[in-house]
Structure 1
Amino acid sequence: MMRRSAVLGLALTAAVPLSGCIAAVAAIPLAAGGAIARKQLSGSDERAQERETPVASPSPTPGASSTSKVEPFRIVGVVNAPLPTPGGPAPQPGQPQPGKPPAGMQYLYGSGEGAAISIQAYQALWRYVSDRIADRKAGLDIRGVILSPEGSLEVPKFVACGKKPLAVVFDVDETVLLNLGFEADDAMRGTGYDDARWRRWEQTGVEKVAPVPGAVETLDGMRRAGVTIVFNSNRSEANTAQTVAAIEAAGLGGAKPGETLWLRGEGPGRSGKDSRRWEIAAKYCVIAQVGDQLGDFTDLFNPGGVPVPIRRNMASQTMIAAMWGSGWFLLPNPVYGTGLHGGVDDIFPADKRWTDPADAPPAPQPSPSATPETAQ
């Protein structure tokens, strides 16, 4: 079937055409002013994140010029309270030590760099969406960004928009919502991922979450501009009510199952998102997708059994690569997911290896018997 083509060597030679011009900078519609709000995670009646009452700000202006006033960011932070070391089996060799967060967690959940990358992605998303809003108001045709059943990575084809209402589709976990409570517990245990424990987290961890930096303000601005926010997550349908509550607890607004919230059904093979994407695209003109894994954009990235270098080329050396930043927006996640695979030989090409000269064996010295003095 053409859509499942595995031709991965086609170089990126042309951009996927997208309607509308590239607008000048339009800042994420953030509330003006505000101080850093710190909220501990401990305490059964405390939410992981409580937003201060924002100062009123104007609605975003689609297609704003580069001279538009950029409103200052209102930073919202979270401080993790110390957690007791839970019981459980001893960590296996090669796993993080209990109580010490691995580097990926330190970066994503604790670093200013991780927060800055997320805000950067949401800034770019808002500018792109603002352009599409302006295109619709100008009566221009808009190209959707949901890959159609006939499309492929090499020959992208997208579900037509027509006059359907505008929407942006978001993954949930580590895209708009940070699972601080689960990841803190994971770090303290140091025993690796447990699906049963994740299911218990979905059911009971509603209030131990926080928004991804930049997400709340961007989603608010899009809704004010008339864009529908749709969530497409692999959280279980069995925990629909809890997922809705977690999204609301993070300050991300409401979600209605089957309309603005789509979840994974039970049973094998239900983790793919394409079938849900096509149902969403039948109702909406999807102008952007946002996620933290390649599978949040199309299932074609995850056929299974693909070598690490080839999968990297699938995202960067096919015609679909033109979508990054032009309808598809990726958030950082060095903590878990389909991208965290590969050994040294998979990641580093043999012809790019380097040997430290200090590690090279010393050059052989001539034997004393071979010196000119001894030869005479």
Structure 2
Amino acid sequence: MRFGAVVLLIVSAALLQGCAAALLPVVAAGAIGKTQVDAAQARTRAAEQQLADLPQAQREAVVTVAPVEETPTPAAEPVVQTAQIPAQPVALADINHPYLPMARYALAQAERRQAGASVRSAVLVEKVSLIEPRAVDCGDKPSAIIIDMDEAPGVELSDGEAIGFGELLQYLRDNGIVIAWVSGRSTGELAEDLALLQGGDFPAMQADDIQLFAWPGLRKQERRWNFAATHCVLAIAGDRKSDFDELFDYLRDPDYAIRLDAWTDRGWFLLPYPAAVAAATHSPKATEVDNTP
């Protein structure tokens, strides 16, 4: 007698041996002898009878497994390597920004330090003398600049001069100059300004910058001194003179501190409020034409 199919039944422990599941042999017609075929048929009929005698719930536990046809594995698609074109840095010539003179000065001072020359810090020593003012020693400390984030009636932003604030500061970072931001306010009070500085495609403030914000019992001037103890502050940007040193808050007429004029535009830069600058700044890259096909 010929059989045209293969029968495979898996029965549960309740069906055949209590706890262990039994697997009925696979019988291939024409590949075995008649005696083996008869024995296989007898076992199949016995299993079917036991299955018919089981309650409905147990009969549903029996699983019929059909032969699995092997699907040929498709050939792997060739991997196409896409050339990564590095972003071209923005040149200083593409930047028109009020902070550009400060950046140029800091870069020039950093180059002098690399050449072995001694440069002057933009942070004055404690208990400074107005007759012979001295700056904190730079030594071999890493180069840095400080940007004050407390707004005061002072220098205003002119129209058409806020291009590339983030790129300008990144140019300083790429040349080994640390950016530090100082404020007498806490992070919570600065939330709106921080959002402006950290937003956009090319943020002015980035994760590796140092934040010298309000700390209980510590004046802003003390935070400048602490920072100058570990960094050579090449330049300070602020919108009033007391952003350079608190002594200007105690002078009856700051213009009479003639000896301190030597730091004006040579370490101290009166510049517009940075958050307002960031809000009005756009990137030079935004005006570039995309010729990608």
What TM-score, normalized to structure 1?
0.42
2:205 corresponds to which of 242, 249, 253: 253
Q: Tell me which residue corresponds to 1:300.
A: 247
Matched ranges for 1:19-34 at <5 A? none
Q: 1:139 to 1:299 in 2, by over 3 A?
A: same
Q: Tell me which residue corresponds to 1:8.
A: none
1:229 corresponds to which of 166, 173, 179: 179
What does the per-residue CA deviation read over 1:271-329, in whole Å, with 9 as the maximum and x for residues that have no partner? x42100011011111111111011110000002xx54xx23333xxx200111111111
Offset at residue 224 of structure 1 (A): 1.1
Could you tell me which amino acid in structure 2 is paired with residue 296 of structure 1?
A: D
Instruction: Classify the secondary structure of the residue corresponding to 2:213.
Output: strand
Q: 1:150 to 1:213 in 2, by over 3 A?
A: farther
Matched ranges for 1:1-376 at <5 A? 56-57=88-89, 71-73=93-95, 119=97, 121-173=98-150, 215-239=165-189, 244-249=194-199, 251-255=203-207, 260-266=210-216, 272-303=219-250, 307=252, 310-314=253-257, 318-332=258-272
Contact 2:180 2:210 in 1 (8 A): yes
1:212 and 1:72 mapped to 2: Cα distance?
11
1:254 and 1:130 mapped to 2: Cα distance?
19
What TM-score, normalized to structure 2?
0.53
2:263 and 2:240 mapped to 1: Cα distance?
14
2:216 and 2:173 mapped to 1: Cα distance?
31
2:183 and 2:113 mapped to 1: Cα distance?
28
Offset at residue 130 of structure 1 (A): 1.9
Identity of aligned residues (%): 31
Q: 1:311 to 1:240 in 2, by over 3 A?
A: closer
Consecutive unaligned residues of structure 1, counting only runs of 5 or more, are: 1-54, 61-70, 75-118, 181-210, 334-376
Contact 1:289 1:297 in 2 (8 A): yes
Offset at residue 332 of structure 1 (A): 4.3
Contact 1:255 1:261 in 2 (8 A): no
2:211 and 2:140 mapped to 1: Cα distance?
22
What does the per-residue CA deviation read over 1:339-361, in whole Å, with 9 as the maximum and x for residues that have no partner? xxxxxxxxxxxxxxxxxxxxxxx
Q: 1:123 to 1:247 in 2, by over 3 A?
A: closer
2:225 and 2:162 mapped to 1: Cα distance?
26
Max radius of gyration: which structure? 2
Count of aligned pairs: 180
Offset at residue 232 of structure 1 (A): 0.7
What does the per-residue CA deviation read over 1:200-257, in whole Å, with 9 as the maximum and x for residues that have no partner? xxxxxxxxxxx9655323211101111000001122255476665443126213256x
2:222 and 2:120 mapped to 1: Cα distance?
19
Q: 1:216 to 1:152 in 2, by over 3 A?
A: farther
Q: Tell me which residue corresponds to 1:107.
A: none
